[in-house]
Amino acid sequence: MTEPIKAIVVGAGHRALLYASYAQTHPDELKIVGVADPRSHRREQAARLYNLPAKRCYPTAQAIADVPKFADVVINGTMDHQHVVTSLPLLRAGYDMLLEKPFATSESDMWELVAAAKRWDRQVLVCHVLRYADFYTAIRQRVLDGCIGDILSVQTVEHVSYHHMAMGFVRGKWAREQHGYASMLMAKCCHDLDLIAWMKSGVKPHAVASFGSNFQFKPERAPAGAGTRCLLDCGIEPTCLYSARKHYIDHPERWHFYVWDSVEHLGPLTLEDKITSLRDSNPFGRCVWDCEMDVVDHQSVVVEFEDGATATHDMVGGTAKPSRSIHLVGTEGEIQGNFEESRFVVRAIDPRPGREYAEESVDLAIDGDIHGAFARHGGGDLRLVEDFVRVVRGEAPSISTTSLDDSVAGHLIGFSADQAMTEQRLVSISLRR
C-alpha cells in the first residue's frame, strides 16, 4: 500500500487549513506532520487538529528549512506578499509545494520563484482552484474536444458582492496595496485571468490595456450623517447598506474567519465581545467611506493574444449578487455559462434550411448540490489537493493541473493590466524569460 504524502502547513490560516483538511477525509493519501505560523494560537490549532508534537510546530518557514527534511511537501497558505520569501528556502530544502495564488505580487518576484523551482527541480502547483470546479473543467474539456473550433474571443465577468467587496477590499487585508501587496485585480481576479490563459493554453498573451478606479468607496461619496465607525458615531447606521452590524453581527458566519481575526486569540467570542470589538478597534467596524482604501472597485481588462484572438475581463465590486460568467466564441460555435448556476450552453453553427444554430444545455447542478459542503469554489478546493497528491506521487496530471510555468501567463496579464491602467497605455507582454 502506498504511504500517504507527508505535508507541512506553512501559514495556518483559513485557506491552508482548508486544503489540509483533505488529510482528515483521506488519511491514506495525505498526512499533516508539521506547521509553521508566527501566531502561537494558529500553531496550537493545527497541532490539535493533526496531533502534532511541539517539536514540529515552528514560527517561520525558515525555521523548517533549517532542520533536516521531515516531509514530502509544503502547503503554503501565507499572505500574498509572503509567498516567494517563504517558498524559496523550502524549495531549496527539498520540498515540493502547493502554493496559494497569486504566487507572487510582482513580475520580478514571479520570475525569481520560477527560476528557483527549475534550479532545484521542484514541483510547484498553484492553487487556481476554479480549474477544478466541475463547471470550468467541463468547459475546458469541450474546448479540448474541438467543439467550438479555434477560440477567437474569451469574455469573462466577475461581480463581487457588496459584502465581499467591503470585507476584503474596503475594510480588509487587501484594501491598501502597501498592506496586502497585491492589487484588487490580482487578489480577486487572479482566478479569472488564469481561466482566460487556460482556455487559450499554448497561445501567448501579447498585449494588454486596462481601465478602472475607485468609483464608490471614497469620503466625498459618504452619505450625510455617516461617522467613522458604524457602532460608535454613525447617525445612519440603522439604514446603511454597509453597516458592520448588518454585515458581521446579523450574518455571524459570513466572513467570520476574516472579521474576527484580530481577536481570535481571545478564544470563543460572545455577542457583546463582537459588538465591542467592532465599536472600538476592529478594522471591520470602520465606515466604508472612511477606510483610506487605495485599490479599485471596478476594472476592465482587454488582452490580445499572439494568434490575434482577444479576451476581456470585467470586474465590478459592490454588486447585489455575486457571480462569475464566461463566454467563449470559436470559429465553429460558442460556449456561454454562469458559474454560480453551474450551467452552460454549447452552440454550434447550423446553416441548414430553417436553422441558425444548434444548442446543447449542460446543467451540472442536477447531479449535486452546489450549495452544500463543496460549494466553495464549486468543490475545486479539495479536488485541487487530490490532484496535487497524484502529481507528487508521479501519476499523470489532470487537465486542471496548474504548474508554476502554466500559471505565469495569467499572472503576467494581471501585472500588465495594472501597469496599463496606472500608466494609461498599452503594455506589451513578454513570456520569453
Sign for the CA dihedral angle at 309, 315, 316, 320 comes to positive
Cα Rg for the chain, rounded, in angstroms?
Answer: 22
**What is the edge-to-edge ordering of all strands in the sheet holding 298-305?**
357-363, 343-349, 333-338, 323-330, 151-161, 310-319, 298-305, 205-213, 427-428
Output the pLDDT for position 368: 47
- Note whether residue 365 is domain-resident: yes
The set of long-range contacts for 244-248, using a CB threshold of 8 Å and a minimum separation of 24, is 244/278, 244/284, 244/285, 244/286, 245/275, 245/278, 247/163, 247/166, 247/167, 247/284, 248/274, 248/278, 248/284
Q: Which three cell numbers stand for residue 189?
A: 481576479
208 neighbors 413 (Cβ within 8 angstroms): yes
Q: Which residues contact 98 (CB under 8 A, 6 or more apart)?
A: 19, 73, 74, 75, 76, 125, 127, 384, 385, 388
Angle between helix axes 134-144 and 184-199 (nearest 10 degrees) is 40
Q: Do 407 and 270 lie in a common domain?
A: no
Q: Do 200 and 324 lie in a common domain?
A: yes
Q: Do 274 and 189 lie in a common domain?
A: no
Q: Which residues contact 75 (CB under 8 A, 6 or more apart)?
A: 7, 8, 9, 10, 16, 19, 20, 97, 98
Longest CA–CA span in the chain (Å) reads: 75
- The β-bridge partners of 75 are 9, 98
Round to whole Å and give the CA distance between 414 and 412.
5
Chain centre distance of CA 29: 25
Q: Do 18 and 167 lie in a common domain?
A: no
Phi/psi at 194 (nearest 5 deg)? -65, -40
Phi/psi at 112 (nearest 5 deg)? -65, -40
338 neighbors 328 (Cβ within 8 angstroms): no
- Note whether residue 135 is domain-resident: yes
Q: Do 182 and 262 lie in a common domain?
A: no
Q: Do 40 and 94 lie in a common domain?
A: yes
- Note whether residue 433 is domain-resident: no
Chain centre distance of CA 284: 21
Output the pLDDT for position 344: 97
Q: Do 85 and 142 lie in a common domain?
A: no
User: Strands (DSSP E) along 79-204, which ranges?
Assistant: 96-99, 124-126, 151-161
266 lies in which domain range?
A: 219-285
Q: Do 172 and 203 lie in a common domain?
A: yes
Tell me: the pLDDT tens digits for 295-339? 999 999 999 999 999 999 999 999 999 999 999 999 999 999 999
- Note whether residue 320 is domain-resident: yes
The residue out of 102, 126, 150 marking a domain boundary is 126
Q: Do 276 and 307 lie in a common domain?
A: no
Tell me: the pLDDT tens digits for 365-409? 875 444 433 455 567 899 999 999 999 999 999 999 999 999 999
- Note whether residue 303 is domain-resident: yes
Question: Strand 323-330 and strand 333-338: pairing?
Answer: antiparallel
Q: Do 213 and 242 lie in a common domain?
A: no
Q: Do 140 and 62 lie in a common domain?
A: no
Please, where are the H alpha helices in 219-357?
244, 256-259, 271-280
Please, where are the H alpha helices in 243-322?
244, 256-259, 271-280
Nearest to 381 by CA among 117, 25, 46: 25
- Note whether residue 141 is domain-resident: yes
CATH of the domain at 103: 3.40.50.720
The residue out of 239, 254, 285 marking a domain boundary is 285
Q: Which three cell numbers stand for residue 281?
A: 478597534
- The β-bridge partners of 311 are 154, 303
Q: Enumerate residue ranges in the chain where pLDDT < 70.
A: 1, 367-378, 432-433
Region at 89 (left for phi over 0; alpha for psi -120 to 50; beta for the rest): alpha
What DSSP character marks residue 245? I
Round to whole Å and give the CA distance between 264 and 86.
24
Output the pLDDT for position 370: 43
Q: Which residues contact 336 (CB under 8 A, 6 or more apart)?
A: 325, 326, 327, 328, 344, 345, 347
Q: Which residues contact 402 (CB under 8 A, 6 or more apart)?
A: 125, 126, 127, 128, 131, 194
Question: Strand 333-338 and strand 151-161: pairing?
Answer: unpaired
Nearest to 385 by CA among 13, 73, 136, 48: 73
Q: Do 141 and 239 lie in a common domain?
A: no
The residue out of 107, 126, 145 marking a domain boundary is 126
Round to whole Å and give the CA distance between 280 and 317.
27
Residue 9 is which amino acid? Answer: V
